[in-house]
Amino acid sequence: MTENETLQVGIDVGQGGTRVIVRRGTRTERYVSPGYWSAAGNGVVSAVLQSVMTAMIPSHTPIQVGIGMTGLNGNAVPIDELSRVLREAFRLHSLTAADDSVTAYLGAIGTHAGAVVAAGTGTVALATDMVTRWGRCDGWGAELGDHGSGYWIGREGVRRALRGRDGGASGHLLTALEKRFGPAVEMPALWRSLVVTPDQIAAFATDVAEVARQGDETARAIWREAGISLAETVSYALSMAGLERSDVPVAATGGVFAARDLVAASFENALSERHPRAVISSAPGDPLEGALALITLPNPAAFGNLVERATEAACDPEPVAASRGAGQ
């Protein structure tokens, strides 16, 4: 790679962590940095800046950046603030930022009509005809939505473990809960302290999965219900995009679907009941690769206001910080 060769940087900002992929010519490198909840400062913007710093890109290197971000919850993409922060540290040649549903879609479906449901710490679904109609569902955040997400599974695991304790049951789910968070009697104080973040609750989903695989029916039911909820969410998105009677691919991605043995059957059965013509497909790429695809996305309008591309005036071939230094 020559000194002035432009790098392509894809960033996937999640609640639990931020992933970065850097394309250097024919090579790609991946990095991990703090997520939305653990990044210092201003949430998404701070997480983005920290992630690019983690990749150790020299400030004089030209970069094209694509960002998919959680935490927007229906708010506008902070494109101006992102471009300003990145320009202060790097030679920013282009910037395209989007709701994380878009990068999940591009990684899973590409640039043709279809739908995707992404379930990690949170849940969001997106469908589009890749012309003008699109629908985004859920993504309301941990307390208002995120049905079937890792957070939802973890929270249901906590609730049902405590409910079982009230009923005199002391099964594997309660044991797993106390192993991760401490004695059950201390749960209310722990929750009121706000020490436990959504990504930590979502991490308990892995324990719920382990208990489910041991045959615990309560834990298995949680995962079955998650699959049904995720099917409902993506079916709503299909209807919003006018694709309910179309033969289009529907992909599922995110950490929740890594437990296919627990969630796939209920998801696929529920989706087939609601949309018999939907073609359930595997996701060839993930949201991180979708973030890279944002850089060259030919028709951002297919995703409405979920995608923002910085104007040429907002990008600068020379980093602001370097310009300031030169003038001193």
The residue assigned the tokens 């995720």 is: 230
The residue assigned the tokens 């931020």 is: 18
- Asked if the model's pLDDT at residue 251 lies above 90, the reply is yes
Could you tell me if 62 and 94 are in contact, meaning their C-beta atoms sit under 8 angstroms apart? Answer: no
Q: Which domain holds residue 307?
A: 7-105+287-326
Q: What is the DSSP letter of 6?
A: P
- Indicate the pTM of the whole model: 0.82
Does a structural domain hold residue 233? yes
Rounded distance, CA 90 to CA 13, Å? 19
Does a structural domain hold residue 199? yes
Number of domains into which the chain is organized: 2
Does a structural domain hold residue 322? yes
Considering the domain architecture, whether residues 211 and 116 belong to the same structural domain is answered as yes
Does a structural domain hold residue 223? yes
Does a structural domain hold residue 68? yes
Q: What are phi and psi of 145, to 5 degrees?
A: -160, -125
Q: Give the pLDDT score at 267.
A: 97
Considering the domain architecture, whether residues 118 and 239 belong to the same structural domain is answered as yes
pLDDT digits (tens, 9 = 90+) for 190-199: 888 877 888 8
Considering the domain architecture, whether residues 38 and 183 belong to the same structural domain is answered as no
Considering the domain architecture, whether residues 122 and 178 belong to the same structural domain is answered as yes
H-only helix segments in the chain: 43-54, 79-87, 100-108, 150-166, 172-181, 187-192, 198-213, 217-240, 260-274, 287-294, 320-326
Which of the given ranges, 51-55, 170-174, 310-314, has the highest pLDDT on average?
A: 170-174
The residue count of the chain comes to 328
Last residue of a domain, one of 248, 265, 281: 281
Q: Strand 307-309 vs strand 91-99: parallel, antiparallel, or unpaired?
A: antiparallel
| HSE toward the beta carbon, residue 91, CA cutoff 13 A | 15
Q: Give the pLDDT score at 105.
A: 94
Does a structural domain hold residue 2? no
Does a structural domain hold residue 58? yes
Q: Which CATH number goes with the domain that contains 321?
A: 3.30.420.40
Does a structural domain hold residue 1? no
Considering the domain architecture, whether residues 15 and 77 belong to the same structural domain is answered as yes
Last residue of a domain, one of 247, 266, 281: 281
Could you tell me if 99 and 71 are in contact, meaning their C-beta atoms sit under 8 angstroms apart? Answer: no
Considering the domain architecture, whether residues 203 and 114 belong to the same structural domain is answered as yes
